[in-house]
Amino acid sequence: MHLLFFDDPAIRPHLLPLTFTRPVAALRCGILTIAEKWQHRLGTATMGYLTQPYLQARFPAGNVAGPALVVNGAVCPDDLLARQVLALAPGQGLYFGDTLVAAHLADASQVAELVQDGLREQRPVAEEVVIIERPWQLFLQNGAEIRRDFALLTAGRTSQPLGDAHTIVYNENNIFIEEGVKIRAAILNAEDGPIYLGKNSQVHEGAILKGPLALCEGSHVNAGAKLRGDNTIGPFSKVGGEVGNSILLGYSNKGHDGYLGNSVIGEWCNLGADTNTSNLKNNYAPVKVWSHAAKRFVDTGQTFCGLLMGDHSKCGINTMFNTGTVVGVGANIFGAGFPRQFIPSFSWGGAAGFETFKLNKFAEVAERVMGRRGLAYDAVEQGIIAEVFKQTMEDRIWDKVRTADLSDSSD
């Protein structure tokens, strides 16, 4: 049966800027994306996304003319929840309070009415479920999700051998190594949580890895890195320095020294050498972050919260991010001092001020960066970026000021 993930309209806006460029279910928490978690547990061969129109070319819905299991893309499953979803009869929906978790539809084309009006036959979930409703919940849930995904992916399988006499291992039974992994003179400590090393990943000399940890396919832990636990390094990324309780969604680099803590970094990002994030206020007060949905700073209720960065954003060497900084899509940050705690999409500059990173200049960078990984900055990606640029225009307040100045000067 076809599996369809929908973006809950009450949740998706609160997950910006990460959901500017992907459906909610394509977010990574633990080893897998939310969609992959469901697909593994439900055993479905095909899946699709019901998301924003400008994202559908990259994340297609697939066949919506027949029967389907429709799942809220913000809900992280466990085995019990998956069994409840599989037990749904056509026309039945599974709810957690007022939130639709999943439904079995005889005709998936009715999903819009389902999300808006609900189903007549509603069944409650058997236990509390994990719903990713805010960006910081990704790193808060990451350790637990690594444990769940580790058990899911390694059940009944045998790890590849360590293959390096100079690597020190603690609790080897809690470490799983996929094919093609290369480890040299590292320390792997899985006493407090599992360590998963994905296909063709590499751990370089002197690196210290503490579980829970997910190092996904093709990624590198650079020499001397210190990964302190509850970390996910998404596919084809590079990480160095000190990292704690953070997620790199994929195709991103934090290759050098510097601290990254309690943070979520999108795809195609790069943090320059000695970039540091503050994740704790000096007065230990709860951290506030910018909300694209509320258009203001909101209280996370968390003592620890670092950097939330959208796709394709970069920062130069020695960049200092204050506690709870939110960076949009396609920003380029550089210069001395702390930049503002909300950096809108397509910003160019730093503490001294910003101007707009024009789309033609952005495209030049994106083509080079994606080309290094053998991928093209194609028409689909260009269309997504152009729409995000349009949607975030009002956030770039300096353009408003400049337009007003030009208007005044013409009177």
Assigned domain for 316 exists: yes
Indicate if 63 and 144 belong to the same structural domain.
Answer: no
Read off the pTM: 0.94
Instruction: Clarify whether residues 203 and 60 are in a common domain.
Output: no
The answer to whether residue 66 is domain-embedded is yes
Quote the pLDDT of residue 167: 98
Q: What is the CATH number of the domain that holds 189?
A: 2.160.10.10
The verdict on 142 and 117 lying in the same domain is: no
CA–CA distance, 149 with 33 (Å, rounded to integer):
10
E strands in 23-84: 47-50, 68-72, 75-76
Q: What are phi and psi of 397, to 5 degrees?
A: -65, -25
Question: Pick from 330, 353, 372: which residue ends a domain?
Answer: 330
Residue at 17 is within a domain? yes
Are 231 and 320 in the same domain? yes
Q: What sign results for the dihedral spanned by CA atoms 329, 331, 336, 337? A: negative
Distance CA 165, CA 143 (A): 29
Kindly state whether residues 60 and 190 are assigned to the same domain.
no
Tell me the CATH number at 47. Answer: 3.90.550.10
Residue 91 lies in a domain: yes
CB 110 within 8 A of CB 82: no
- Residue 405 binned pLDDT confidence (cut-offs 50, 70, 90): very low
pLDDT of amino acid 120: 66
Residue 363 has a pLDDT of 97
* Domain residue limits at 242: 137-330
Q: Are residues 120 and 155 in the same domain?
A: no
One domain for residues 197 and 103: no
Distance CA 237, CA 148 (A): 22
Among 132, 153, 188, residue at a domain's last position: 132
Q: How many domains does the chain have?
A: 2
283 plus 324 within the same structural domain: yes
Q: Are 78 and 64 in contact (CB under 8 A)?
A: no
Within this chain, do residues 172 and 194 fall inside the same structural domain, yes or no?
yes
CA torsion 331→336→341→346, rounded to 10°? -10
Q: What is the DSSP pairing of strand 238-239 with strand 253-254?
A: parallel
Could you tell me if residue 165 is inside a domain?
yes
**Residue 182 shares a structural domain with residue 312:** yes
Question: Residue 365: is its pLDDT beyond 70?
Answer: yes
* R_g over Cα of the chain: 22
What pLDDT was estimated at residue 117?
61
CA angle 165, 169, 173 (to 5 degrees): 115
Same domain, 268 and 197: yes
Pair 15, 135: CB distance under 8 Å: yes
In the numeric block, the tokens 């204050």 are attached to 322
Distance between terminal CA atoms of the chain? 64
Does residue 147 sit in the same domain as residue 282? yes
Is there a domain that residue 43 lies in?
yes
Domain C-terminal end among 100, 132, 164: 132
- Judge whether 31 and 150 are in contact, CB under 8 Å: yes
pLDDT, one tens digit per residue, over 250-279 is 999 999 999 999 999 999 999 999 999 999
Of 266, 214, 285, 274, the closest CA to residue 240 belongs to: 274
Residue 169 belongs to some domain of the structure: yes
Closest C-alpha to 110, from 97, 95, 93, 125: 93
